Amino acid sequence: MNSLLAGLDPGQREAVLCPPTATIVHAGAGSGKTRVLTHRIAHRVLTGSAHGRHVLAITFTREAAGEMRRRLRALGVTDGETGTPTIGTFHAVALSLLRQRLIGLGRSVPNIVHNRIALAVAAASEHPLGQRPRELLVEIDWAHARRIAPDQYAVAVKREQRYVPFPAAEIADLYRAYESLKRKRHVVDLDDLVSRVTDDLLDDPEFAEITRWRFRHLFVDEAQDMNPLQFAMFEALRGGREDVFIVGDPLQAIYGWNGSDHRLFDALPETIGRTTVLALPNNYRSSANIVEAARHVAQAATSDVQVQAMREPGNKVVLRTYESAEDEANGVAAILRSVANRGGSDPWSSCAVLVRTNAQIPAITAALRRERIPVGSNKPAAELLSVVDRAAQATSRHSLSVWANDTLLDSEDEAERTVADLVNQFLHLDHPGTVDGRAFSAWVTSSSTATNEIVRGVEVMTIHSAKGREWRCVVVAGAEEGLLPHRSAKTREQRSEEIRLAYVALTRAADLLVITYATSRNGRSTKPSELLEGLPLGVTPAATDMPLKIERRLPSLLDDLVAWRNELARRIVQSPESVCTDEDLRRIVDTMPSSADELAPIFGPLTAARVSSELLPIVARYSDA
């Protein structure tokens, strides 16, 4: 048990050890919230105050769920007498519960729509949004998340002062047509799963009792992002009980545009009653200069900024001005080239460019490619989806398992082996009812990133997409009025969310943060964002003064550890982050372990024993440095 608590700071230790009553943890950026959440579950299970099979942990992404499973396995929470915790997204958990219920009732499980874009196009028909189906789906998803029916949509848009691409009444008609098409084609989308399970829990006392007995201990990650629909499912699962552990950060609530409502998280102490509220303000990710810059930005929205830097000041934050968006894109490429020239085993994938809108991405990626800088991607791979379709033909659990095992034994095709690994993950989970290829395909759909293909390189993405990620070097481009905060933010709450979004962008950087803006974009004059006014930390505007060195203790060791992680990820066909996090690697640098036992507080005893033969010789090379 001592190894479970090793390396935790006093606030983290308090969160892990507090009594098993309703607990809400305000976990700031870079505070080690995933470590606290997994160590809390492990502590409860290993001390006997919770049984693994009765634990439900809800996350917002499949990557987060996979990372939690990996860490719990490393901490010794595996298949045993207590069983394995259930960890998944709201959609995945809802699908599992719905399957269990319908199969128990002798009814068929509904098909999940596989191509929402095509469905939206069909619903829009001749309307111009038929050419822009993603914008229509954003509005439909917002309405679903807020539990707004088509007849209520126009009124809700007016009440919320929501920016919409077409008159609300027209979108309401398309929303109605979309729902009608789903019924005609006998398909549901992912939000329907959450809605149906929530209604069943509220309407069927027996189903609710069985489900609450099964999931006696509830854990929720990133709870500030819950929307009313998800919150209703959480409350239906909770059923008034107090054995809940909820982690969130009010400063990272950035999905109101998509239906989330951070006020639900803020009101949890009153909603639940008799809660313990704890705070994890320590930021271990970013240098002190970066943390202070982020704090300055966040204070434009709230005076309650609970974040404290735990690292040295490091590099100064850099501000760069360009005459046009094209000049800015070329300047970003030059900055990244300078950073990469400082060395490192994988310099490109340790950098990211974050922007407010998708429209900014093409110019930047084009500039990077002109400079022969690799651009990373994480998009669904057609070949993987094709293999999933083949696996879906399996008519039983046995035939699905045989297909996966035969593929892993005989196939050298990476796509086939990746899907076979996914099948084994799926079979390892606790699925009620019939388990076959069709069920596997539905699981993949509900875990929407299961078949994403990762290409290493500089990642260029919107700030929303960067949530939960970190890089050594981050360039935040387009920090201008009208972009950050975005011009669509009309109300005080919308503007506050834009400020929180800027805070999230800045806290993605660990060592070097560069902020850029143009004085002209799309032929119109622009001004720097007012959030930059008075930015602290001696911002350095001169190109010759820009500190490009990424300083860390024993940087050569860190580079070698990154190279080891990337090679292991390549061998097992997984993303590097699924092997271990940057935080884990930094802990190795800080502690310089010389045995598997000393690695155990970082990886857990089982994983430490597996990787020690590869890792310890790497560390030993620097032990006398």
Task: Give buried/exposed letters for 146-155 (b at 16+ CB in 10 A, else e).
Answer: bbbebeebbe
The pLDDT-based confidence of 592 (bands split at 50, 70, 90) is confident
Average model confidence (pLDDT) across the chain = 86
**Pairwise CA distance, residues 316 & 318, whole Å:** 6
Structure confidence at residue 611 (pLDDT): 85
**Pairwise CA distance, residues 518 & 103, whole Å:** 58
Dihedral (CA of 426, 432, 438, 444) sign = negative
Contacts of 68 (CB under 8 A, 6+ apart): 34, 37, 38, 57, 59, 87, 221
The pLDDT-based confidence of 342 (bands split at 50, 70, 90) is low
List pLDDT tens digits, range 385-406: 778 888 888 888 878 887 887 7
Range 547-564 average pLDDT = 60
List pLDDT tens digits, range 418-431: 788 788 777 877 66
Range 32-51 average pLDDT = 92
**Pairwise CA distance, residues 500 & 489, whole Å:** 12
Structure confidence at residue 576 (pLDDT): 67
Tokens 């993303």 sit at which residue? 575
Q: Is the pLDDT of residue 554 over 70?
A: no
- Concatenated DSSP letters for 393-427? T--SHHHHHHHHHHHHHH---HHHHHHHHHHHHHH
List pLDDT tens digits, range 295-318: 999 999 887 888 999 988 888 999
Structure confidence at residue 217 (pLDDT): 96
Structure confidence at residue 26 (pLDDT): 95
Range 550-556 average pLDDT = 45
The pLDDT-based confidence of 286 (bands split at 50, 70, 90) is very high
Tokens 């962008």 sit at which residue? 505
Residue pair 251/291 in contact (Cβ under 8 Å)? The answer is no
Q: Is the pLDDT of residue 546 over 60?
A: no
Of 111-120, 323-332, 409-418, 427-436, which has the strongest mean pLDDT?
Answer: 323-332
The alpha carbons of the chain give a radius of gyration, in whole angstroms, of: 24
DSSP letter for 592, please: -
Q: Is the pLDDT of residue 625 over 90?
A: no
List pLDDT tens digits, range 228-281: 999 999 999 999 999 999 999 999 999 988 899 999 999 999 999 889 999 999
The pLDDT-based confidence of 291 (bands split at 50, 70, 90) is very high
**Pairwise CA distance, residues 97 & 107, whole Å:** 14
Structure confidence at residue 537 (pLDDT): 56
Q: Is the pLDDT of residue 450 over 70?
A: no
Dihedral (CA of 180, 185, 189, 191) sign = positive
Tokens of 161: 């002062």
Residue pair 319/542 in contact (Cβ under 8 Å)? The answer is no
Contacts of 394 (CB under 8 A, 6+ apart): 400, 403, 436, 437, 440
